[in-house]
Chains A and B, each alone.
Chain A
């Protein structure tokens, strides 16, 4: 089945530093990837839609200069949290959509990355 990986699975960083999270589709090409944020005991909130080769589309209220998204290839999207602050501490989850004609266009989710900013 389709697998999406995320790296790292867990990261601690100091306030003011930047952190990069990778999302990879391992056995399919993902023309579209999505980045979500999940606070403890809350739902997943879509942050942005990442399209290969073009700029990401951010949801209302998400700072695009703070959460930089790059989708340079059909199997990799990265989320960089710039100048991280403690309030950015959260669980970040990506998903990838198989864009092949034979697919069901289902979104496959990564295991998530827990970011803690101290």
Chain B
């Protein structure tokens, strides 16, 4: 079954602390993995995708096919990183996105 699991509903850290938002997936084949972010009262927007292999706003995510994980990391969290983060996947030949349940990141000053 195709599934995205985000085990943490809430992650609270202090400013400057490292952050890791966990994402595991289940998919038969080679999926494309994404992280989406939703800031307070804003729409969902793409943060990064694994094929781009880039760092956005200091966040990085590495696809680990052996562990079927795509954890999102940032070495030093900022208050403005506080938001809802969704991990998602799509298949190679489809645009359909399967979302995880999301993790709310709270960064305290």
Binds A, one of B16-24, B38-46, B62-70, B75-83: B38-46
Mask: chain B, 36-59; 1 = CB below 8 Å from A; 0 = not: 000000111110000000000000
Q: Is the CB of A43 within 8 A of B95?
A: no
With an 8 A cutoff between CB atoms, is A54 at the interface?
Answer: no
Q: Is the CB of B43 within 8 A of A110?
A: yes
* Complex CA distance for A106 and B46, rounded to whole angstroms: 8
Shortest beta-carbon distance from A111 to chain B in Å: 5
A42-B101, A43-B102 as given contacts; A34 in contact with B95, CB under 8 Å: yes
Shortest beta-carbon distance from A107 to chain B in Å: 7
Contact residue range for chain B? 10 to 19
Question: How many pairs, one residue from A and one from B, have CB atoms within 8 Å of each other in the complex?
Answer: 37
A32-B95, A46-B96 as given contacts; A111 in contact with B101, CB under 8 Å: no
Residues of chain B in range 75-109 having any CB-CB distance to chain A below 8 Å: 86, 95-102
Shortest beta-carbon distance from A42 to chain B in Å: 7
Q: Secondary structure at chain B's binding surface: helix, strand, loop or mixed?
A: loop
* Complex CA distance for A42 and B100, rounded to whole angstroms: 9
Mask: chain A, 103-118; 1 = CB below 8 Å from B; 0 = not: 0011101111000000
Chain B residues, Cβ within 8 Å of A24: none
A43-B86, A93-B44 as given contacts; A107 in contact with B95, CB under 8 Å: yes
Closest 3 CB pairs of A and B: A109-B44, A43-B101, A43-B99
- A: residues with CB less than 8 A from B are 4, 32, 34, 42-46, 49, 93, 95, 97, 105-107, 109-112
Instruction: Given A43-B101, A46-B98, A107-B95, output 14 extra A-B contacts at Cβ < 8 Å.
Output: A4-B43, A32-B95, A42-B101, A43-B86, A44-B97, A46-B97, A93-B44, A95-B44, A97-B95, A106-B46, A109-B44, A110-B43, A111-B42, A112-B43
